[in-house]
């Protein structure tokens, strides 16, 4: 089965309202739309610094808003090498002017002018119904959220339940999701054929 996932956003004023507009999360999915803009990358977790490095390919004006995930010394060096300014302090909310993002407001009152904000969301597989089948979500190795574990061909730990797409791979995009679904489908078919063949052989004996 496939079910996609839910992006859980930090509780920052205005963030949810601008989600999918000026607030984005993936440089590959949304980077072209915010290219050459003043981008702020919100520090929310272990992938935030990596996210800032990726967005720096799309704009010469990228600021890392440390918020709850201040970079360590190695990350500071990486950000500096890419020309990314680091702004410390918790973020309180977004500034909106004429229905457009105009800046990011810190709790100390400072406003950092920005046209787009990138945020690494916490991703959770949308599959609570799997718990009734005996499957339990587990933390993803990347630290990005929770998923349901499966082997490389989609087989879960529960016989007869196969998984593909973001329910097991939080970072999967459309192409890899389709490929995983095709692989799981082929393996399910093979398993059914093998079971039917074994039954037919048993009848002949």
Level-2 CATH architecture, domain 123-204: 3-Layer(bba) Sandwich (3.50)
Query: How far apart, in Å, are the Cα atoms of 104 and each of 12, 91, 135?
Result: 10, 7, 40
Q: Which residues pair with 40 in a beta bridge?
A: 63, 117
127-149 burial, b for 16+ CB within 10 Å, e for fewer?
beebeeeebebeebeeebbbbbe
CATH code for the part of the protein at 5-120 = 3.50.50.60
Q: Give the residue extent of every domain in the chain.
A: 5-120, 123-204
Please determine whether the domains at 5-120 and 123-204 fall in the same fold group of CATH: yes
Residue where the block lists tokens 């004023």? 13
Q: pLDDT in tens for each of the 205 residues of the chain? A: 566 678 889 999 999 999 999 999 989 988 999 999 999 999 998 789 999 999 999 999 999 999 999 999 999 999 999 999 999 999 999 999 999 999 999 999 999 999 999 998 887 777 777 788 888 888 877 777 788 888 888 898 888 888 888 788 877 777 888 888 888 899 899 989 999 998 999 888 7
pLDDT at 60: 96
Task: Tell me the whole-structure pTM to 2 decimals.
Answer: 0.79
153 CB-near residues (< 8 Å, 6+ apart): 183, 184, 187
For residue 104, count other CB atoms closer than 10 A to its CB.
25
pLDDT at 81: 97
């Amino acid at each position: 089965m496939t079910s996609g996932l839910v992006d859980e956003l930090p509780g920052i004023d205005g963030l949810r309202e601008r989600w999918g507009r000026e607030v984005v999360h993936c440089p590959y999915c949304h980077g072209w739309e915010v290219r050459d803009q003043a981008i702020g990358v919100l520090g929310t977790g272990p992938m935030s610094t990596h996210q800032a490095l990726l967005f720096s390919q799309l704009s010469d004006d990228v600021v890392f808003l440390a918020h709850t995930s201040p970079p360590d010394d190695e990350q500071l060096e990486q950000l500096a090498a890419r020309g990314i300014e680091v702004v410390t302090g918790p973020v309180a909310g977004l500034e909106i002017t004429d229905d457009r993002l105009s800046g990011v407001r810190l709790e100390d009152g400072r406003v950092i002018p920005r046209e787009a904000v990138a945020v690494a969301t916490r991703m959770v597989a949308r599959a609570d119904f799997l718990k009734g089948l005996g499957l339990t979500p587990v933390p993803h190795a990347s630290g990005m959220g929770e998923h349901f574990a499966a082997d490389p061909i989609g087989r879960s730990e529960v016989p007869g339940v196969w998984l593909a797409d973001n329910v097991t791979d939080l970072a999967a995009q459309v192409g890899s999701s389709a490929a995983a679904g095709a692989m799981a489908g082929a393996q399910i078919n093979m398993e059914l054929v093998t079971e039917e063949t074994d039954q037919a052989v048993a009848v002949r004996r």
